[in-house]
Amino acid sequence: MSSSEIRQKFLEFFKNKGHAIVPSSSLIPDDPSVLLTTAGMQQFKRYYTGELDALKDFGSQRTASCQKCFRTSDIEEVGDQTHLTFFEMLGNFSFGPVGSDNPEDFSKDGYFKRSSIYWAYEFVSQILEINPARIEVSVFKGDEEIPFDKESYKIWHEEIGIPKEKIIFGNRADNFWGPTGDEGPCGPCTEIYVDGVEIWNLVFNEYYKEKGGEYRKVEKPGVDTGMGLERLTAVLQGVDDVFQTDIFESLVLKIKESIPSHDRIVRILADHLRASVFLIADGVRPSNKEAGYILRRLLRRILAYQLKYDIHADLFTESMEIIKEKFEKIYPEVKETKIILKVLEEERLKFQEAVGRGIKEIEKYKEITGAVAFYLYETFGLPFELIKELASEEAVKNLLKEDFDKEFEKHQEISRAGAEKKFGGHGLVLDTGELKAANEEEAKKVVRLHTATHLLHWALRRVLGGEVRQMGSDINAERLRFDFSFNRKMTPEEIKETEDLVNQKIKEDLSVNFKEMPKKEAEKTGALSFFKAKYPETVKIYYIGENLENAFSKEFCGGPHVGRTSEIGGFKILKEEASSAGVRRIRAVVES
Ligand code: SER
């Protein structure tokens, strides 16, 4: 069975059981507690908590998806036969309230353990035609905090008839899932194994883990299942190497033409090339922090191998075409190979420069410790793997990833402490991720800066052209900081013109309003959205001008904003500088 058939059969199966099929969300999550989307349930977090209503947004309390995921937890293992950074996850979800939980009930109601387990077993044994003799399952055995998952055990054993010796009792580490980030839905899980390989994880979200660490039983338990497509495909295609499945076959063959005798590196390149394509397609750009840093690590590792094995750049162009062909039908965003190649090329130029200087620096050290490695990373942007790759074997023989990570953490703690100090240790009055204020007075200022940010975005597009897009925004009581895509320094005249346009609109004393509507409708209004951010099904559009139709500024935005532009006061751009490749950054203030 081919990987596309598997995807299709999975979605069809659950559609027939009352599930709404929801497209994959972006790899950039709508959840500030994680850097990248790591699981299918992530886009649904707020349906589990009851903040959003699945029946309203999807027409059913049941959904199914094939989700793009990225996990860094296994990055060190990539190169073996099973580990990947980017992967696809098939999943079915239920948000409750639990209806009959009868597997014959194909309504739109929520369901729980019985239906999930019956359907998973039916899909595996009947649709995928896996012989039940190959199947084992695991259930949560319980501990001091969370009890034994007796229900799942009974369903598997007494109802489905899985013999006792094929049921594994797992502990917290293996059979309890979530939350993603520091709080959220979580619960015991039951897994399905085929020939000893775990293929499907069924999580029963009966709990909500609070930020403080406490588990609270939820009113409407939910279901969140996840099945890695690559691994499942390997099982069904009878290979024990995900790189031998039809998902990777042509890509691996192509890379092998350039590096015939290094299987491990071929696999790393196949994984990293594919993952980079998907990250870039979702709007991630290489940088020294967060998701951008993850992408930079992947790209620089690719580039290091290019140097080391003297790989021709054509390999990248050809690989992009292969990846595009394989995935564009499901993920049309990967069609943009030109942009992807451009990002890679820009990174190559930077990398050359960094490597040039970095190599000289590396050579100075007889021994590279964790601290030295961190210094090399911070100063020259050389990722850990690359330092290992480029230094002499002797110099890195005692270098451990943990030591580097410890240095990294120390550094982060210092910056966190700095941030806390800045906010005086008080709880924030306003904190939307983008807007931060410690008290009422600051909040007022921040709101003025926020509306000024919308005006700035509009003005930049007027002055520099419609290709300019918001790439990031951060606002505190002192200033706004706005990142946007543009590939050169702005001239003083352009800066002045932008500033004047904003001040002009402030003077006009225009009203600022919002309208709430379904996302689909909102997209049609031409409102600007924050590149690939994932929005809920119902969104707000803030607009400045008489009405939504003829407003000059319209953006997908959660607010808050001032009521009239005159409240902003005077607007001044303090600085325009490079932020990362192809991205400029403006800092600006408002004056009363
Ligand atoms: N969230 C669970 C996982 O990622 C099940 O989907 O395994």
Q: Rounded to whole angstroms, how far apart are CA atoms 11 and 222?
A: 19
Residue 421 lies in a domain: no
We report the CATH number of the domain holding residue 89 as 3.30.930.10
| Domain final position from 220, 236, 252 | 236
Which amino acid type is present at position 368? I
103 lines ligand 1 (CB under 6 A): no
Please tell me the residue having the least CA distance from ligand 1 atom 6: 226
204 shares its domain with 65:
yes
Alpha-carbon dihedral of residues 463, 469, 475, 479, nearest 10 degrees? -20
Residue 335 alpha carbon to ligand 1 centre in Å: 28
Give the domain CATH number at 529.
3.30.980.10
Same domain, 499 and 579: yes
Domain end, chosen from 191, 207, 236, is at 236
| Same domain membership, residue 434 and residue 336 | no
pLDDT at 420 (0 to 100):
44
Give the atom of ligand 1 at the shortest distance from the alpha carbon of 38: 4
Choose one of 225, 227, 229 to mutate for the ligand 1 pocket test, by most ligand atoms within 8 angstroms of C-beta. 225
Question: Can you tell me the distance from the alpha carbon of 2 to that of 351, in angstroms, rounded to the nearest whole number?
Answer: 38
pLDDT (0 to 100) of residue 531: 52
Q: How confident is the model at residue 35 (pLDDT cuts 50, 70, 90)?
A: confident
Q: Which ligand 1 atom sits nearest the alpha carbon of residue 203?
A: 5
Token output for 318: 């050809």
Nearest residue CA, atom 2 of ligand 1?
A: 226
- Could you tell me the pLDDT band of residue 570, with boundaries at 50, 70 and 90? very high
Q: How confident is the model at residue 419 (pLDDT cuts 50, 70, 90)?
A: very low
Q: Is position 414 within any domain? A: no
344, 316 contact by CB (below 8 A):
yes
Q: Hey, whose CA ends up nearest to atom 3 of ligand 1?
A: 226
Residue matched to tokens 């990987």: 3
Q: How many Å lie between the centroid of ligand 1 and the Cα of residue 265?
A: 29
Q: How many domains are contained in the chain? A: 3
Nearest to 540 by CA among 549, 553, 527: 527
What is the per-residue pLDDT for 412?
66
Distances in whole angstroms, Cα of residue 55 to Cα of each of 61, 94, 113, 401? 5, 11, 20, 46
Residue 224 Cβ contacting ligand 1 at under 6 Å: yes
CA separation for the pair 294, 277 (Å, rounded):
13
Specify whether 372 is located in the same domain as 436: no
Q: Which residue has the tokens 């580990």?
A: 83
- The answer to whether the CB of 222 is under 6 A from ligand 1 is no
Q: Which of 130-139, 327-336, 359-368 has the lowest mean pLDDT?
A: 359-368
- Do 455 and 583 lie in one domain? The reply is yes
Is residue 415 in some structural domain? no
pLDDT, position 415? 52
Whether residue 314 is found in the same domain as residue 366? yes
Is residue 232 located within the same domain as residue 251?
A: no
Q: pLDDT of 218-255, one tens digit each?
A: 989 999 999 999 999 999 999 999 999 999 999 999 99
- 34 CA → ligand 1 middle, Å: 15
Q: Which atom of ligand 1 is nearest to the CA of 178?
A: 1
Q: What is the mean pLDDT of the chain?
A: 90
The CA 333 to ligand 1 mean position distance, Å, reads 24
* pLDDT tens digits, one per residue of 177-203: 988 777 888 999 999 999 999 999 999
Is 417 part of a structural domain of the chain?
Answer: no
Q: Which residue has the higher pLDDT, 18 or 433?
A: 18
Q: Tell me, yes or no, whether 197 and 171 share the same domain.
A: yes
One domain, residues 290 and 187: no
Q: Does 125 fall in a domain?
A: yes
Residue at 425 is within a domain:
no
Domain enclosing residue 165, as ranges: 3-236
Instruction: Please say whether the beta carbons of 541 and 512 come within 8 A.
Output: no
Instruction: Give tens-digit pLDDT for 513-526.
Output: 888 888 888 888 88
Distance CA(319)–CA(279), nearest Å, equals 15
Do 395 and 484 have their domain in common? no
Judge if 225 and 252 occupy the same domain. Answer: no
Could you tell me which of 286, 237, 247, 290 has the C-alpha nearest to residue 270?
A: 247
- Among the listed ranges 20-34, 127-141, 422-436, 525-539, which one has the minimum average pLDDT value? 422-436
Which range scores top for mean pLDDT: 223-232, 297-306, 307-316, 519-528? 223-232
How much distance in Å is there from the Cα of 201 to the middle of ligand 1? Answer: 6
Tens-digit pLDDT profile for residues 132-171: 999 999 999 999 889 999 999 999 999 999 999 999 999 9
- Please indicate, yes or no, if residue 424 is contained in any of the structural domains: no
370 C-beta closer than 6 A to ligand 1: no
pTM of this prediction? 0.68
Q: Of 102-106, 175-179, 427-431, which gets the smallest average pLDDT? A: 427-431
Q: Does 422 fall in a domain?
A: no
188 lines ligand 1 (CB under 6 A): no
Distance CA 156, CA 154 (A): 5
Is residue 226 lining ligand 1, measured as CB closer than 6 Å? yes
Nearest to 39 by CA among 3, 102, 94, 91: 91
Q: Would the CB of 41 count as within 6 Å of ligand 1?
A: yes
Domain end position, chosen among 346, 372, 406: 406
- The average pLDDT across 545-550 equals 84
Cβ neighbours of residue 48 under 8 Å, at least 6 residues apart? 41, 95, 184, 185, 205, 218, 222, 224
Q: Are 467 and 568 found together in one domain?
A: yes
pLDDT exceeds 50 at position 421: no
